[in-house]
Amino acid sequence: MKNVELKGIVVPIVTPMNEDESINTEELRRQVNRQIEAGIHGIFPFGTNGEGYILNGEEKKLVLETVIDQVAGRVPVYAGTGCISTKETIEQCKMAEAAGADILSVITPSFAKASQHELKVHYETVAAAVPNMPIVLYNIPMRTGNALEPQTVVELAQVDNIVGAKDSSGDWDNLSAYIELTKDLDFGVLSGNDALILKALKAGAKGAIAGCANVYPKNMVGIYENYVSGNLDAAEQCQANVSALRACFKYGNPNTVVKTAVNLLGYPVGKCRAPFNCLCPEGVEALRTALESDCERGIC
């Protein structure tokens, strides 16, 4: 199995698109460099913020191969390979392995309700199909309709190549249970909620997969780097700096807010793919105001 350490701030990088919704690979390469130059610890193509839910198989392959080529080994590349069916998830995992991904992030199946037993069998079957690839479980029940319970995560942590879990439930009790129940195992927990990064680190998490890093990569990296260096005041400030941006999430899909913010900062990443591509004028104005204030304070 690939030996990749789970740590730091990983960006679920946006997927730049042209006006016709085709993939803008040139801008994707620029965004990869922007993130690495800011000190990011990993790049995660076609996660939730990368619109993996709306890309087809060939587009995912194009995005992943472009990112891997541009990263050129500088940081680990995570690939979001989870699909609704076990069969398609395995196909995507094998595609990512062949492309050269370092870690697989496998979201729970969605739409149909799955029992904990079904989820456990699903992940065990996927892991057995790609035994040389580290797998990170991905829990985001508000989007998928299926939640990975802490005890299920503990059981799956016994599988050799299931090395971690990302929790985007927004439920501190759930995230802290992941951390506490696996603390004596060779297993890493990552926060998927940007408001809980520092709290999770203090509790023993290894890092975070942070959508806001698309907007403020240096600041998000600062949460982790200041924490591990012992500068808690600076880490707290970096964590607090996220609040104005996150307050704009109430105006629409967080993916759309994040991608709109990146565009407002001057990076032509395009819109999210329809129909998830509209932000009300009030939301755009609130976002513009937040960004201007944050940039004046040197957060951008």
Q: Tell me which residues are annotated as active site.
A: 138, 166
**CB 52: neighbour CB atoms within 10 A?**
24
How many whole angstroms separate alpha carbon 182 and alpha carbon 281?
45
How many whole angstroms separate alpha carbon 193 and alpha carbon 221?
15
The angle subtended at Cα 85 by Cα 80 and Cα 89, nearest 5°, is 35
